Structure 1
Amino acid sequence: MSQILNQIHFFFICAVKKIIPTALILASLISVSFAQKAEKFFDKKDLLLVGSYYYPEQWPEANWERDIKNMSGLGFEFTHFGEFAWSAMEPEEGKYDFEWLDKAVALAAKYKLKVVLCTPTPTPPAWLTEKHPDVLMVNAEGRTIQHGARQQASWSSKTYRAYVDKIVTVLAKRYGTNKAVWGWQIDNEPSHYGTSYDYSENAQQAYREWLKNKYKDIGTLNKVWGNAFWSQTYNNFEQIHIPNVLELVAQANPHAVLDFKRFTADEAAHFILLQQNILRKYIQPAQWVTTNLMPTYSPVDPLRMKDLDFLTYTKYLAEGYDMGHGEQGFRMGSANSIGFSNDFFRPINGVTGVMELQPGQVNWGLFNPQTMPGTVRMWIYHVMAGGNKFVCNYRFREPLSGGEQYHYGIMKTDGVTVSRSGDEYVKVIKELKDLRKAYQPETAIPSSLVKRKSAILYNPDSRWEMEYQPQSNQWDYMAHVNRYYKALKSLGAPVDVIDETKDFAAYPFLIAPAFQLLDHQLVSRWKTYVENGGNLVLTCRTGQKDREAHLWEALFQQPILDLIGAKEIYFDLLPVSLMGKINMGQTNYDWNNWGDVIDPISEADVWATYSDQFYKGKAAVLHRKLGKGTITYVGADTDNGQLEKTVLRKIFNQASVPTLSLPEGVLVEYSNGFWYGFNYSSQNQEIPIPTNAKILLGQKTIKPADVVIWKE
């Protein structure tokens, strides 16, 4: 309780001083008021609990006990039921059948498996969509998305929400006191997948209501949206339509687009939190509530779901889209993919887990390669190194029919033979027994990591605004963020990805990448952070607009000019075919994505300059001291991130903070008293393990897709 009161006091002070936007304060207080303290659900000495998805409704009942017994016998500690089973739970409207699920839950309990039970809301049954076709979402082309697949329902449909209320209530009443049920997952990967946004009449009406609640009167909306331009002025809210680029002859209003993306994220969060509220009426406090999200899916904002007990994520890496590092990288994925997800989800509520981890070869990728031997095992340990409480394999049995044929499971198609990647799960489960014995709860975080502790400040509004107005076909916000994340990890820095509700002072190093939308209060917070000894890094595009995406009626990026030590900034963009040069020290770096050209004040140090174009010799990177700390502005966005990495290394060096120098694809992590080394590269790598360390698992030199764990 004291922690809650302290946090409320912190946000009260922030509100009085106007240093955090009111919306963020309210969101955080909601989280404080209703979300349970997630740590209470997990015993630290377990380190990582391992589970697997199972679909009793998809297999003959005669197989259930054999499969669940085998799952337990292999060492799995929990299983996962029900997220796609609405038609099995309610085969006809109002006629419920839970006998099959009762049997499955009882079998799990018999074999000492905890159960994660799910609400089945991503897959409405055919009888529902046939009776109420208006519950279906509509895509940008005006096509109603038909029954089949999943996530075809409109979050904004009041009819659909009424049916959701009924099925979730029945589930909660039936299983809310069942001791075998460990926790609840709401929905599954809340999204509309490739369709992304809903343009149905349900969404249209809800969007108008959202706008009315935000702006109160149409005149205020017209002013904020700049509707005098192109005679877009509205007389009332009913005239407003969802901005749809396929229905317009020219660019949609960027302020309308930004608000629509905010609305969509709010709708997704409300749909999830609505179900949590129903569950909490009936389930016991010992059962936790979460949902599983896709880390980089833009339309859904995890930060809006803080009121859940904690958030979990889904992760697939080897699916033909992520080519990883080196010739064989496509079999492992990028070294920072799991790491960024860990460091993004964990700070939201202090706890996270991976609810769905790739089981090996999948069926839906650009191409579907076999994973490098050891890769699945490496992924599991990377999840553990991120402080996750559990990892769940998707799925126990490889399906014989339906939409996921060829998708690996723990078991092969015969249902009784362990698969290649299943063997890797079994190996980890056995190794965890020894690691749990070696766990020492009193171990302090090494001082070297405390000194390197870094945060990346993430802002969905800036992301959404730049996605619509990128200014260059090469601009990619998440790629830009990842360049800094990757550089920090190569230096051996622990990272939290945070939002503005967090206390910046907890981090010696704070990076705010492309923070395009801000206000003077945030700039003031940054200044205070630096004056008190923090090291702040701002990057290109930061401070170009206010919170509603208006350019300032002042010099370009005026709010940050004094802070970074600049008189003026303008930017340049180059074609894909042309690489510009930036000189820093004795090295030239290529760039062509984005380049802020900076005119510095005399007190600022120029760390890098442009080596060509008509602004040759102009500043590309500025650094200055302010109070006890420093601020650095990096004006360019590069493809390979080498400039960004060089700048960060110099900042750490000037702060007298030692760093590592890890090769491409190699990571060193720390969690719960254990050090981990991972090799996502295509060559053998030597991990920098101190001579006095005790290696618990593996060896100092590890092959691709291998891991080493040690204690110091």
Structure 2
Amino acid sequence: MKRCLTLFISIYLPFNIIHAQPAAPALPGHTMPIGAYYYPEHWKKEQWERDIRKMAELGFAFTHYAEFAWANMEPEEGKYQFGWLDTCVDLAAKYGLKVIMCTPTATPPVWLTLKHPEILVVGAEGDPVRHGMRLNVNGSNPVFQKYVQRILSKMIERYGKHPAIWGWQLDNEPHFEGLYDYSGFSQSSFRKWLQQKYVQIDSLNSAWGASFWSFSYNSFGQIRIPNAKETHSVNPHALLDFQRYNADALAAGLRFQSSFLRGKMSSTQWITTNFAYYKFLPSVDLFRSRKDLDFAAHTMYLLSTFLDYPKGALAPRLGSGMELAFSSELARSIKGYTGIMELQPGQINWGQWNSQPLPGAVKMWIWHSFGLGDRFVCTYRFRQPLFGGEQFHKGIMEPDGITVSPGGSEYVTAIREIAGLPKTSDAEKAVPEAVASRATGFLWKQENLLGMEASKHTNAWDSWKHYYLYYENLKTLGASVHFLQETDSFDVKKYPFMVAPAFEMTDSNLIRKWTAYVKAGGHLILTSRTGMKNNDGHLWEALLQQPIYELIGATINSYDHLAPGVNGTLKMDGKDYLWNIWGDQLTPKSGTEVLATYGDQFYKGTTAAVKNKIGRGTVHYIGVQSLDGEMEKQILRKAYLSAGASILNLPNYVFVEWRDGYWVAVNYTSAPADLPIPTTATIITGGARIAPGEVTVWRNVQK
């Protein structure tokens, strides 16, 4: 007990970075097993064996238990009931299914939240998120962690060496309900976090620009959480630190669980969590958990109100393949490995509209995940619930529990098709030269997104859309994308191209790394807002974005935003393009190539985009965002071709991915598309012309 208490204290205050070294878990290799969520606590005991047997008969390889079942395991404090879960684990083993076992910390039982209301997340208006909502506690709170440790002790004792347990999922879609935690615990913990970071209050006042509006503090104890509900507007530098703190707090909660499980579980078991909806969860930074997980899994629901759909009548039935690709490649970049932990089998219940998927779309999503390199797919969920907040969320089975749903049938088909793929040779599994030639690093910094969204400067600016514009264009080239942190190696051999869209906060170390990367032969693409601020979010005491002038081979004189509905023109290679949101006005230095200019406004003829050669590489600076992204696409195409890369020319939302010797194409558009299949290829399924919602798979031994 003393050892456990020591572990507990050392992990908590104040988010010390203590990482247990992962063992060698039994992750799937070049296969993609498919599994399904199952909630035995929702169904009669007499149905458990029937359901689990049916799951195995349909071809599923694993199931997923217990992430919302704390009250079933510990209905009263200290009184444990695991017999039901033991039975279901044994049933899974009986029918050859592996089990992903989940820690149930997303939904603490009512006795716990009533006994300790101080563990509850508090919203910006001061109201606690009461019992009955998931993710309503702060996982870094030491009071909560005491009870987490108790339930995990019981679980790891029973299942840590169980041969049916494949791995562990920590929590569920970890985030704070309501985006941030404004509780008393969070207030005091934030102050400790600030004191650890700044040590002296004068350093904090400097970083926060506290002389503005008399923001200055005399001690850390005077600081309150920045809250727009209290002050109408907030200090952007204080807000940025609070966002950093929340991300650290969330990661600390996961680290506590991971560190506790390590060493107690079988060395063949693994630890992950299912990160979800990063776009709308500012406290979620996957990279902060890089050392605590064996890999990061991801969750994706393609049909909902907020996804980035392609144009066309079928879009609401096909969903956003770009979101799926982005999510998969981001999660894979954490540890070089990922799987999709939640993928819908049909309509969902929580969107403003919940269209039926086009027949074939569900199977297409599974194949797209395969092509992206996901090492497993788990569908949410096996049975459609009869009660609760997700009654209209489709399952593999219809509400009767015995009839396979249309989406369930597509899962079964995908399982059989993937299992039936012909084996590829070692030569085929080697990454083709064409794929390697266009591999791209995408520089990722969560704080840049948060900082720009807090200080947009124009209501039309959307940081995510800016990122998506470049990501989407990269996928039309057939590029595989790996998300990089500033601290990662900028290896030209691995990533001959690097894109850093709107990388607003920079420092001299990053600029030196960029310069070295380019001199070594790398090709760097930067865009508007890059280099505008330091890491505290302050403008440089210099000319606008001056630290990157030598790198881009130009000076940046000013920038413009146009009024809503007013579009300016851009000229490039004899063609006109429209723009509205952001336009940098550049003056190129001698030897810098002008790529695009403005076609109107009082700065007509001024440069909008440039190319600069440094050493063996190049830097492209694109200082404007065109209306449809077409100008940026053409600049990228020329940049890749001139560097000797082999690229594709795909329509937006038609994706072609390579994995382990297989080429996989999927079509999220509303029109058929022709695929770049070599004459030497052997088509396994589909055809050279791909219809909406369909899949084509081929193999080609030619490099």
TM-score (norm 1): 0.93
Q: Shift in Å at residue 438 of structure 1?
A: 2.2
Contact 2:22–2:262 (Cα < 8 Å) also in 1: no
> Deviations along 1:369-404, whole A, 9 cap, x unmatched?
000111110101111111111000000000001110
* 2: CA distance, partners of 1:398 / 1:439: 37
Q: Out of 201, 219, 234, which is 2:202 matched to?
A: 219
2:487 aligns to what SS in structure 1?
Answer: coil
Indicate how the Cα distance of structure 1 residues 30 and 527 shifts in structure 2: closer, same or farther if over 3 A, else same: farther
Counterpart check, 1:385 vs 2:367? no
* 2: CA distance, partners of 1:409 / 1:224: 51
2:614 is matched with 626
* 2: CA distance, partners of 1:496 / 1:108: 36
Which moved further from structure 2: 216-225 or 409-418? 216-225
1:691 is matched with 679
1:299 is matched with 283
Q: Shift in Å at residue 298 of structure 1?
A: 2.6
Q: Shift in Å at residue 524 of structure 1?
A: 0.7
Matched residue type, 2:565: S
Contact 1:182–1:287 (Cα < 8 Å) also in 2: yes
Q: Out of 157, 173, 177, which is 1:173 matched to?
A: 157
1:35 is matched with 22
* 1: CA distance, partners of 2:562 / 2:150: 55
Matched residue type, 1:439: T
* 1: CA distance, partners of 2:128 / 2:273: 26
- Structure 2 gaps of 5+ residues are 1-14
Matched residue type, 1:523: I
2:569 aligns to what SS in structure 1?
Answer: strand
* 2: CA distance, partners of 1:486 / 1:76: 32
Counterpart check, 1:90 vs 2:77? no
Contact 2:556–2:584 (Cα < 8 Å) also in 1: no
Q: Shift in Å at residue 228 of structure 1?
A: 1.5
1:154 aligns to what SS in structure 2?
Answer: coil
Q: Out of 481, 484, 495, which is 1:498 matched to?
A: 484
Matched residue type, 2:606: K
Q: Shift in Å at residue 37 of structure 1?
A: 5.4
Contact 1:255–1:549 (Cα < 8 Å) also in 2: yes
> Deviations along 1:617-664, whole A, 9 cap, x unmatched?
111001111111111100012342111101101111222323211123
1:696 aligns to what SS in structure 2?
Answer: strand
Counterpart check, 1:430 vs 2:413? no
Which moved further from structure 2: 342-351 or 401-410? 342-351
Contact 1:463–1:477 (Cα < 8 Å) also in 2: yes
2:305 is matched with 320
Contact 1:324–1:332 (Cα < 8 Å) also in 2: no
Contact 1:321–1:366 (Cα < 8 Å) also in 2: no
2:181 is matched with 198
Matched residue type, 2:53: K
Q: Out of 85, 96, 108, which is 1:101 matched to?
A: 85
Question: Equivalent residues in 2 for 1:295-444 (5 A)?
Answer: 295-296=278-279, 297-307=281-291, 308-322=293-307, 323-435=309-421, 437-443=422-428, 444=430
Counterpart check, 1:259 vs 2:261? no
1:13 is matched with none
Q: Which runs of 4+ in 1 moved over 4 A?
A: none
Q: Shift in Å at residue 567 of structure 1?
A: 2.8
Contact 1:608–1:622 (Cα < 8 Å) also in 2: yes
Contact 1:394–1:409 (Cα < 8 Å) also in 2: yes
Which moved further from structure 2: 138-147 or 76-85? 138-147
Tell me how many residue pairs correspond in the alignment: 678
Q: Shift in Å at residue 156 of structure 1?
A: 4.2
Counterpart check, 1:74 vs 2:62? no
1:691 aligns to what SS in structure 2?
Answer: coil
Matched residue type, 1:74: L
> Deviations along 1:228-247, whole A, 9 cap, x unmatched?
12111111111000100110
* 2: CA distance, partners of 1:129 / 1:686: 57
Indicate how the Cα distance of structure 1 residues 224 and 425 shifts in structure 2: closer, same or farther if over 3 A, else same: same
Counterpart check, 1:278 vs 2:260? yes
Counterpart check, 1:161 vs 2:161? no
Q: Shift in Å at residue 433 of structure 1?
A: 2.1
Which moved further from structure 2: 385-394 or 437-446? 437-446
Q: Out of 511, 520, 536, which is 2:524 matched to?
A: 536
Which moved further from structure 2: 650-659 or 300-309? 650-659
TM-score (norm 2): 0.94
Matched residue type, 2:227: N
Indicate how the Cα distance of structure 1 residues 656 and 30 shifts in structure 2: closer, same or farther if over 3 A, else same: farther
Contact 1:325–1:664 (Cα < 8 Å) also in 2: no
* 2: CA distance, partners of 1:58 / 1:585: 62
Q: Out of 430, 434, 450, which is 1:464 matched to?
A: 450
1:288 is matched with 270
* 2: CA distance, partners of 1:61 / 1:70: 15
Indicate how the Cα distance of structure 1 residues 441 and 168 shifts in structure 2: closer, same or farther if over 3 A, else same: farther
Q: Shift in Å at residue 442 of structure 1?
A: 4.1
> Deviations along 1:586-643, whole A, 9 cap, x unmatched?
1111111111111211221111011111111111001111111111100012342111
Indicate how the Cα distance of structure 1 residues 590 and 36 shifts in structure 2: closer, same or farther if over 3 A, else same: farther
- Structure 1 gaps of 5+ residues are 1-26
Matched residue type, 2:163: K
Contact 2:569–2:576 (Cα < 8 Å) also in 1: yes
Contact 2:473–2:652 (Cα < 8 Å) also in 1: no
Q: Out of 557, 568, 571, which is 2:556 matched to?
A: 568
Matched residue type, 1:438: K
Matched residue type, 2:306: Y
* 1: CA distance, partners of 2:418 / 2:480: 23
* 1: CA distance, partners of 2:350 / 2:463: 25
Contact 1:666–1:680 (Cα < 8 Å) also in 2: yes
Q: Shift in Å at residue 268 of structure 1?
A: 0.5
2:126 is matched with 142
Contact 1:458–1:499 (Cα < 8 Å) also in 2: yes
Which moved further from structure 2: 420-429 or 458-467? 458-467
Matched residue type, 1:227: A
Contact 1:385–1:676 (Cα < 8 Å) also in 2: yes
* 1: CA distance, partners of 2:414 / 2:681: 22
1:238 is matched with 221
* 1: CA distance, partners of 2:140 / 2:223: 17
Q: Shift in Å at residue 503 of structure 1?
A: 2.0
* 1: CA distance, partners of 2:53 / 2:549: 65
Q: Shift in Å at residue 324 of structure 1?
A: 3.1
Contact 1:135–1:153 (Cα < 8 Å) also in 2: yes
Contact 2:140–2:252 (Cα < 8 Å) also in 1: no
Matched residue type, 2:275: L
Counterpart check, 1:673 vs 2:640? no
* 2: CA distance, partners of 1:372 / 1:325: 15
Which moved further from structure 2: 560-569 or 359-368? 560-569
